Structures are given as C-alpha cells and as structure tokens.
Structure 1
C-alpha cells in the first residue's frame, strides 16, 4: 500500500481549480433558473447536482489530495454545492407555487352553474291523480285490481251485455288487433276488470280498476284515442243505489273538498240497470255562476255542474256471465275519467298538453308520490 502523496497540488487538478468550480456553479444556477417547469427542474438537478455532475466529480478528487490541501478544496466545493442546493430549493418552491396557481385557474369549478346539465323529468300528473283517486276508494275498503290492455272481445263486450250488433263493437269505435276475426281488442274501457275480478276473487268484491283505455277518437282539445279511466265495482248482498250514492259523495269530498252537491241523471249503459250520469257541483263557483248577473265560470261553463262519469246497478246478466248468483248478490259500478278529473281539478284546458310529453307541463305539478 502506497503512502499519501504529500506533494500533490490541488491547483494543478482541473476540476478543483477555483475558476472551474465557479463556472460549474454558475452553469448549474443558470440551468436551474431557466427551468420552466418541475420536469425541466428535475433534469437540471440530475445534470448539476446528481452523482455524475461536475461538482460531484470534483468532490471525488478531494480524497486523493494531501491532508493539508483537503480542507481548502472541501470548502470551495461545499460552498459551490450549497449555492446550487439553495438555488434548487428556491426554484422548486417558485415552480410549485406557479403550478398551484395554474391548477386553481385551469381546474376551477363554477359552483354557481347547474351540476346536472340534463334536465330532470317529472312524474306525470295523470299518474299522480290516478293514484290519488284510487286512494280515496282504498280508504273506504276497496282493493286495486288490474287487467290486460289487450283484451279478449268476450271480456270487453259479451260479458258486459254488449250485443253483437252494438255500435261500440265496430271498427269505428274499437281498435281490433289485426282484424275483427282475432277476437282481441285494445280495451275500450276498464270494465273488463269487473268480470275478471268476479271470476277470480271470492265474494263479496270491492275493487277499483285504474288503467289506460283506447278508442278510435281523434286527438283534439278534449278527446284522445288513449285515455285513462277509474272503474269501480262493489258486489255484495243487499247493495243499493243509496250505497253507490254514498261512495260517489265520499269520492267528491276526498278529491274536491267538502260541501259539494252530487246529482244523478238517468242514462243507459249495457252493463248497468238502472244507469245514471253523475254530476258534481262546480267546485269553483259552487253553482253561483248560473244566477243572473253572476260572473261567468270557465270551469263549468256557467252551468253550475260538472259531469264526472257514469254509474249504475250491475246488470244481472253481467253477474250471471261471471258465475255470480244474481238472486242473492247485487252490486253497483261506476266509471270516472282521469283526464277529465285532472282538467277540472287543475284547470288544464287542452288534452294535447297531457299527451305530448313536454316536461314543462308536468314539472309544475311536482314529484308527489
């Protein structure tokens, strides 16, 4: 093992010359200052402060110096490396601050804008009011019954005492599936659910059947080929028209408020006998618009009454068709228009608003469940 070289002059080593150290330091500081981003600063750190940087290589030459020369050389290199380290630290802080400020601008979220650019839908008011109408009868002990919209002609007509030559059975009033020979129709009313309920449920039967129905009507302000009905049926021993009148009174009170009169006018339906049309007193003017000099009422047309639907005692032939003993049981049925109720209750004047699907029509009614 050789002894230390005591005559080694650090000035003669190029990497340890003061001017070389100053140049390496200045180049490093210049490169650090020129870094425009954290990625460039990382490259400058590797090039000027890494293990293969000029200052790091110069630091390795100190070990070969005589002991007397090492201290001075170490101070010069330490001062240069310290200046580079300080420059790196300062530039790192500056670039991080710039990055954070840029992120705040580029990734800013304007919380005043709607977060959901797709407008929400709304529950259709026909659905809401149909359920509310059914709830009135459910509170009286009725059950909700359902049936198919594509119905057998027997359920839609024959079982309900519609004769084969009844006008409603023609193509002018009924949608037949493919042809009249199929025996399938789009139900023209929810009354077929009456027969299905009598065939499948034990007596007594108290049901309401809300649902969609179809007729070959033109779409205008007050008519639609697709509309909704709420059918009611009560079959028990000893039921009379008085019970029917009481149920209608309870419905009117539940939907339109207390104190409104109800009247029945004689009418005809094949599946009820006797039959009646049901009117309720106008809930806006309460009949006052018919008086001389009174302001007109748009809701009832100044007639004082609003037509609700049809009703009557179930025809014994319908009971027999469903296998019910007509001598022992009696009952009544009614049919109410859901669209009509919505138009009266909320002042809707055009049927187009209900069927065109414009969410602006449904939104004001809210999301009531």
Structure 2
C-alpha cells in the first residue's frame, strides 16, 4: 500500500510538470484527489484497516494529498504567468461583428402594410381556416352547384369521411364565419393564403395571397366603397391614384364591379403592361348579396354592405416591379434578400 501511495504521488507530479494548460492540470488533480480519485479511494479504505496500519498509512496518504495539492498550486501559478496577456487583451471599443439578419418575403411586407393602412381606417383584421367546408366556400356565398369554380379543374378537393372539404379558393368564406358571430355595424379585412388548381406561369400560381374586405351597416353604399379604396391605394402607393368601377358579376355581390386603377408604369398613357388602355384591373368587389346575409343568419334587406377582394401578390409585383409571381415561393435567397 505504501508503494501504491508513492506511485500515485510520483505519477501525479510527473503529469503536472508537463501539463500544458490549466484545464489539463486541473483534470490531473481530479484524477488523484477528486471524489473518485485514486488517492481519495485509499483514504476512504482506511476505516477498514487495523488501528496500527491505519495510523501509518493514514499519515502517508494525507501527506501525499498535501504534496499533490501544493504541486498543483505551484504549477498553476507557473502556467498563469506564461499567458501572453497582450495577446489575450480585448479592446472593448472595437465594433462587433455584424449579425446576419433575415429578410421578409415581399408578400409579407405588403400584407403588413395593407393591415396597417386598413387598421388606421378602423378595420379589424379577421382570420379563418385554409381548409374549408363546401358550404362555407361555395353554398353560403351563393355559388350555384353548376358553377365552374366547383370543378376539379379549378379547386383542390380533399377526401374526407366527415364531409366535403376544399382548400379555400378565396378568403370570402371568412365573411360568413365572421357575420355568424358578430352583428353590424363592423368593418373587417381578411388577409390569407388561397389555392387554385391551375397551371403556373409568370402571372398565375396555384398558391397565392388575397386580402378580403367587408363593411356592413344600415346605410353603406358604393360611394363609401369607392372612397375607401381610393384612400387605401393612395396611401399604399404614396401618390395620387385614379380608380374606376366597371360592371361585373360575382355570385356573392349584387351589383358587382371590377376595380381599375391608372397604370403606374406609363402614367395612364398606355403601355404593354396595361395593354395600352391606361388602366390596370386590381380587384373585384360589389354590394353584398342579400342571400349571403341570409346564410349568415341576418334578416333579409335589413343591412347593406360592400365586399372586395384583391391579390396581395399582384400588389407586391406592382410596388416592387416584380415580373414573375413564382419568385415569391421560389425560396431563392438571392431574391428574398433584396427586400
């Protein structure tokens, strides 16, 4: 046992002498004097020895522990004095490394701007599910059973034993969902993703983003709608905008109209973008059909309101002069980091 104690002490001295760092030195000490260290185990085993043997070996083991600790402290001091403090010095006045910051997709930037503008006009932001029932997506909005929008060629239908479900083709179902839980007067916008089963090209995508608007009260008119949209577009594009309403047809509005704005590319003079008309179609709208009010549980002919829907993607394309709608979902960082 005496020889073992001497060997442990000698090995620890040798290893400490050539330790290259304080961390390495500390690990050597732990292996000898730590809770499960080789010398610690000997000290713990003394209780099982005879008094005479315990007295002799105890004295040797404790002296070895003191010697190892003293050697550790001396070598630690030597290593600390070897540190090149000038090399380790940190100049706190130097600028730090610039952290990489991600970029928002231009669609997200435009959506946030749309929400801010309409919120400033008193509109509430509403939301709804992207997986919709056939009733909310079509029936409640007065879309007849034989309407082309219900075809497999235009809509993504989902297989389910619980009923007929679709990936919503527009954000309009949120109109009915909101009206079922709220009473007029109110004004809301509904930004969100929609899905259409169509081939993609520079101007069309199967997944894109819309913003829906709805204002309902006792005496809402088309004039209220026109002024609301003019304020929005002028605030969004930060310039004077001319808009016009053209008669159109949508099952959920009556009367219905398309919204055109003067072409910002040519200033209304005519160019390939606006097909030399000076105007660009920007959204569809109309006065809410009374059948939609009835589907939501409102009494017929009591309330009036207007609804409109536009493409967030197209507004982003116009604002940032983007010529291919597919870029928004391409995942190309060279594109995203420009914004």
Equivalent in the alignment of 1:337:
311
What is the match of residue 103 of structure 2?
A: 122
1:134–1:230 CA contact under 8 A, matched in 2: no
Determine the structure 1 residue equivalent to 2:329. 355
User: Which residue of structure 1 aligns with residue 87 of structure 2?
Assistant: 104
User: Partners of 1:160 and 1:239 in 2: how far apart?
Assistant: 19
**Residue 315 of structure 1 corresponds to which residue in structure 2?**
289
* Other-structure match for 2:247: 266
Stretches (4+) displaced over 4 A: 35-39, 92-97, 111-116
Kept in 2: contact 1:172–1:216 (CA 8 A): yes
1:280 maps to which of 261, 264, 269: 261
Q: 2:207 aligns with which of 204, 209, 226?
A: 226
Deviation per residue, 1:222-255 (Å, 9 max, x gap):
1111111000011111111111111111111111
**Inter-CA distance 322–303: structure 2 relative to 1 (3 Å threshold):** same
Count of matched residue positions in the alignment of Structure 1 and Structure 2: 269
- Is the contact made by 1:274 and 1:312 (CA closer than 8 Å) also made in structure 2? yes
Q: Is the 8 A contact 1:198 1:205 kept in 2?
A: no
1:91-170 matches, cutoff 5 A = 99-101=82-84, 104=87, 119-170=100-151
- Residues 1-369 of structure 1: pairs in structure 2 closer than 5 A: 99-101=82-84, 104=87, 119-178=100-159, 182-288=163-269, 290=270, 296=271, 299-365=273-339
Deviations 1:85-140 (A, max 9, x none): xxxxxxx999977x4459939x9xxx899576xx5422222112112112222211
Q: CA deviation at 1:150?
A: 0.6
Report deviation, 1:37: 8.6
Asked if the contact 1:156/1:187 (under 8 Å) is kept, the reply is yes
- 1:227 and 1:197 map into 2 onto residues whose CA distance is 22
> Aligned to 1:182, what secondary structure does the other structure show?
coil
Q: 2: distance between equivalents of 1:198 and 1:358?
A: 40
Give the Cα–Cα distance (whole angstroms) in 2 for the partners of residues 238 and 38 of structure 1.
Answer: 86
Larger Rg: 1
- TM-score normalised by the chain length of structure 1: 0.65
After superposition, the Cα gap between the structure-2 partners of 1:279 and 1:180, relative to the gap in structure 1 and judged at 3 Å, is farther
Q: Secondary structure at the match of 1:283?
A: coil
Instruction: Indicate conservation of the 8 Å contact 1:36/1:95, yes or no.
Output: no
Distance 1:130 1:253 in 2: 16
Distance 2:208 2:156 in 1: 13
Q: Distance in 2 between matches of 1:95 and 1:201?
A: 75
Secondary structure of the corresponding residue to residue 158 of structure 2: coil
**Structure 1 Cα separation of the partners of residues 161 and 152 of structure 2:** 8
Note the residue ranges of structure 2 that are not aligned, 5 or more in a row. Answer: 1-16, 26-75
Give me the whole-angstrom Cα distance separating, in 1, the residues matched to 2:180 and 2:324. 39
Q: Which consecutive unaligned segments of at least 5 residues does structure 1 have?
A: 1-34, 43-91, 291-295
Indicate if the aligned counterparts of 1:262 and 1:280 stay in contact, CA closer than 8 A: yes
Give the alignment's TM-score, normalised by structure 2: 0.71
1:280, CA displacement in angstroms?
Answer: 0.6
Q: CA deviation at 1:179?
A: 6.1
RMSD: 3.2
Deviation at 1:352, TM superposition (A): 2.1
Distance 2:19 2:131 in 1: 71
